[in-house]
Structure 1
Amino acid sequence: MAEPSTWQRRIAGEWHGRPSLFDAAGTWLGFEDIRRSSVFEDGVTTYYMDGGLEGGGPMAGRFRLGAPFAFGVVDSDRDRLYTGPDFHGSGQPYGGFVDARYYGPGWQVSLNTWNHVLPDGETQVYSSVLYQGWAVVGCFNGVYRRAAAHDDDPAARAAIKAFLADETRDGPTPFVLPTKRRGAYRGTCELWGADQRLVGDVAVAIELEPLDLLRTRLRTTWSGELDRAFVTEWRRDGFRSFYEGPDAWGNAQAYGRANYPLLHLGDAWTVRGREFMVDASPGMRAGTTLTVVYELSRGNVLTGVLHGVLLWEQA
């Protein structure tokens, strides 16, 4: 194609991050210090990843390689095809979010990568859930920041260095919700259809009524292009959590700041999501900025993707 796709233009340039590696049970193992770039040149898109694993525990041997990644991409706003040699599969963009599913021969895992470019255009919330067949073996996740166009600028270099220091501190922080404060996470999200077309805006509110240090009653409301409300009691058990009715049932697994729920809404509808507490940090507190992505399905059929940023409001 003569021009890059909308998604390709959105992710142009070099991005820096330090995503954390977790095992299947949610235990933090180490960091992947990564520089990523996606280059469109002469009608061809090539993706590059350079960096290295720090730590990794028993998974260090699997995820440590002796050369950077590089792979071709058939660029499209419908199906982005990853053509190897280092990754094979595809990704589907929904505005500022892409859901990619592919195989990495070097790491010997299948990956389901969710990459959400936030409205500022300079921040990506990233996760890759890693599979051996149908079984989860681990997860990478973290935040990326776009590097300045001129990397010889001392201020730009200092900003990236400070950002990576923050990610080093915050990456292992477990996902929690406020346990002694009533309030709500609120924001306006975009709803995209399964046909990858924008449907419109949805006002999202997740109201919290803490019941004790491990249980919270959640009242979720979607209004606008999507109208639905449901109440569920959320119970946390370490990195696991459970949604125990009356309107939504299911469970979730957290890897650091990211919580991955699967909810059943009492009819044919299910919600598969990622809730990422961007500003969570060590200490006895929850974060105030929650980025969300929810894939909505009726039966086994995807009907829409809802994504955006929610901010904490104390009641």
Structure 2
Amino acid sequence: MVSKLDQLRNMTVVVADTGDIDAIKKFKPVDCTTNPTLVLKAIGLPAYEQVLSDAVAWGRTQAGSQDAIVKAIGDRLAVAVGTELAKLVPGRVSTEVDADLSFDTAATVEKARAVIAAYKANGIERDRILIKVAATWEGIRASEILQKEGIDTNMTLIFDIAQAVACADAKSFLISPFVGRILDWYVKAEGRTFTAEEDPGVVSVRNIYNYYKTHGISTVVMAASFRSAAEVEALAGCDRLTVSPALLDQLSADEGTLARALSPDALTDRPAKLPMDEKAFRWAMNQNPMSTEKLAEGIRLFAKDLGELRKLVAKRLAA
């Protein structure tokens, strides 16, 4: 029998939501992704001990303030982890710009260019990398600049159709709608459970997918942040799905039939084109408490893990 994971691969590009080398070797995804959370987990694994040691040793040779050196080592670690992952997948590795730059267009662009240069120094060309940027208005403007320079972006923390439309207008390469975090908000707000079909996160991604396909938008939809295999199955056929090893394991062990849920040839509706400027964007986000709260929370969480990564680096540097 064919597993649901293998069936899924026939209709969707599967991306591994992990920096675990063993998991990537096991599931053989096309792409993989990193963020401060995943980098922090990765460097705690034995496979990355040498990567961490090398980065800290390099840092000890650098001039400048302690804070600047710690940040530089953190950047080096993210690229080092991404470089190792690029050796394992045939497609793209997403690497995140610092969350504390989420409201600074110029600084985001500068950091993205530096990340691309660092990968190139490691022998990894820009066509293997996606720069992850939080989909704030400022982040989307940075994406627009970077795309014109040939640097492809992965716009993360998508919770609202307004973000998706603005990213499409900016010609962003890819967006990452966060299915599970949307569900989390509604479960807490409404105090009930949801079936996969009525799951607000699933519905949000389907609406974005329908909008993009209706209007011939080439920006890739990569649903992320899944809470269950049922959510993954409900979005089978989406352009890409980034899935944790635990859920990949479940799908790999399940030999039931997987039906295609999304297809550009079978759209469930054809939404009208939405005009999107800064005023419309900010108003739409203001009117949606879920998207406003989850975007802010997501940035805070990434910033927290970035801070934890830097604390770990500072401790190793002082040892």
Does 1 or 2 have the higher relative contact order (CA < 8 Å, sep 6+)? Answer: 2
TM-score (norm 1): 0.29
TM-score (norm 2): 0.29
Query: Which has a greater percent of strand?
Result: 1
